[in-house]
Structure 1
Amino acid sequence: MNKVIKLQDLGTKDFKETWDYQEQLFKGVLETKIKNRREDAGLETDNYFLFVEHPHVYTLGKSGDLSNLLLSKEQLTQKGATFYKINRGGDITYHGPGQIVGYPILDLDNFFTDIHKYLRFLEEVIILTLEEYGLKTERSSGETGVWLDVGTPFARKICALGVRASRWVTMHGFALNVNADLGYFDHIIPCGIRGKAVTSLNIELGVKKVNEAEVKEKLLKHFKVLFEADFV
């Protein structure tokens, strides 16, 4: 089993370009797995982890409801935002500047073949990272992602999750609000959940800007431990 993960920080990159790149890596891993099964080739499958920050974009998952986007095409243009229907689970979400997006493209045969466990581990990476900033975050029953003050009128989401998997190969991942402009969430019903707020790490800490490079380091540290992996 190959537990080495190739880390790439793509900086700021268009969502569609990044999606196409994910698909390219995803298909490469699948092709290796198929060759191994057909030819007993015994080839190692690669694992990848992409960090990226997207320009303003709204994405709608396979099971999502388009009515959860509250903007017309003209209004999207006015906001400088784009919109895509994509092939992950979940409903609608927003990506933009000040948000750390992580896309693990893993062959779970190298780690564990359990999608439920995989999602919980992604959430745990976020929970442990935010704990280092003095925040108590948690899961909300029946709702993926990471939240604060669950079960109270002040419940708010700080990290969204949405993944796709085929033959135990994953793509898409998490979006953690670090220095995000939360005004863009006003134009959607985030994840299709009415009456729940969103938040960002800088707001929770009461600071103007959080060091995003430092947050990434902490995310990778916890990911490495939980997945018993190495980054290169």
Structure 2
Amino acid sequence: MRQEWTLCDLGCVEYHAAWDLQERMQQERRRNERSDMLLVVRHPPVFTIGRAGSRRHILASEEVLATEGIRVWEVDRGGDVTYHGPGQIVVYPILDLRQYGQDLHAYVRSLEEALIRTVGVFGVPARREPGLTGVWTDKGKIAAIGIGVKGWVSMHGIALNVRPNMNHFRMIVPCGISGRPVDWLAQWQDSVVEEEVQDCLLQNLADVLDATYEEEVFHETAAAGMAKDQGA
């Protein structure tokens, strides 16, 4: 049966606030108090370290991080160190995976497939890499994936590089993988429009996971003081 999602575009949100919101929504989804949801966000510059990560993979000093306004969070997703910032589309699916085959590996492959289809629309040939998570091109890793699951309900998710600050990526060992560059969509097509990429990605996620979605204004964002100006 085709699943139904609620889509909430939160704009630019501090990472810790979006994390708190995900945890609350995950708990509510586990209690069946909410439907499946997609949270779409942009983050101010931040490095996050997953369960398999190491702070050694952050190469910049505390002084440089402070100068650049980059915060660091240790989080409960899979994976190592990654970067989020303006020019990157981040999607956090809050899904009851029992409705999608109850298979974590298949779920991750579905996220990869949606990303591969999306960048393909904009003329970028992308693929999986054996033994690695995420989406790759001949120029590097263009999208990262890191999920967390409790009671078969997902949180965390995917990040697609459209036009990020590439200097920030040079301050880390992305995903703990040395010697592999990071790619971004605008490197292939400079005229790409971020909003068009987002719309395409959301539709591909729905198609791959056999779902439909309806956008909803999320009033709790303003109430919690979470929303930031898009220029943050």
Assess same fold via TM > 0.5: yes
Correspondence 1:210 to 2:199: no
CA distance in 1, matches of 2:202, 2:170: 30
Secondary structure of the residue aligned to 2:90 is: strand
Alignment-derived partner of residue 30 in structure 1: 30
Q: 1:190: Cα distance to partner?
A: 0.4
Shift of 1:198: 0.3
TM-score, normalised to structure 1, is 0.89
Task: Say whether residues 1:89 and 2:73 are aligned partners.
Answer: no
Partner of 1:192: 176
Q: Deviations over 1:190-226 (max 9, x none)?
A: 0000000001100122x1x521111111112211111
SS in 2 for 1:187: coil
Q: Matched residues in 1 for 2:142 and 2:88: separation?
A: 10
Q: Are 1:226 and 2:215 an aligned pair?
A: no
Could you say what secondary structure the match of 2:123 adopts? coil
Question: Partner letter of residue 52 of structure 1?
Answer: V
SS state of the match for residue 31, structure 2? helix
For residue 164 of structure 2, the aligned residue among 150, 175, 180 is 180
Q: 2:132 aligns with which of 119, 143, 146?
A: 143
Q: Distance in 1 between matches of 2:176 and 2:209?
A: 30
> For residues 30-62 of structure 1, what are the alpha-carbon distances to aligned partners after superposition, in whole Å with 9 as ceiling and x for unaligned?
233xxxxxxxxxxx7620101100000000001
Question: Max radius of gyration: which structure?
Answer: 1
Contact 2:7 2:213 in 1 (8 A): yes
Correspondence for 1:64 among 45, 53, 72: 53
- State the shift of 1:73 in Å: 2.3
Contact 1:57 1:96 in 2 (8 A): yes
Q: Whose relative contact order is higher, 1 or 2, with alpha carbons under 8 Å and at least 6 apart?
A: 2
More displaced stretch, 216-225 vs 18-27: 216-225
Q: How many angstroms apart in 1 are the aligned matches of 2:28 and 2:35? A: 9
Runs of 4+ residues deviating >3 angstroms: none
- RMSD of equivalent CA atoms: 1.4
Other-structure match for 2:19? 19
| Whole-angstrom CA distance in 2 between matches of 1:77 and 1:2 | 46
Structure 2: 5+ residue runs without aligned partners? 215-232
| TM-score normalized by the length of structure 2 | 0.89
Percent identity (aligned): 41
Q: Which position in structure 2 is the counterpart of 1:41?
A: none
Structure 1 CA distance, aligned partners of 2:182 and 2:88? 13
Letter in 2 for 1:48: M
TM-fit CA distance, 1:71: 2.0
Aligned partners of 2:29 and 2:35 also within 8 Å: yes
- Farther-moved stretch of structure 1 (1-10 vs 20-29): 1-10
Q: Give 5+ residue unaligned stretches, structure 1.
A: 33-43, 150-154
Report the equivalent of 1:5.
Answer: 5
State how 1:49-128 maps to structure 2 within 5 Å: 49-128=38-117
Question: Secondary structure of the residue that 1:147 maps to in structure 2?
Answer: strand
Rounded Cα–Cα distance in structure 2 between residues aligned with 1:7 and 1:158: 23
**Aligned length in residues:** 214
Q: Is the 8 A contact 2:25 2:34 kept in 1?
A: no
Preserved contact between residue 124 and residue 185 of structure 2 (Cα < 8 Å): no
**Distance of 2:41 and 2:98 partners within structure 1:** 25
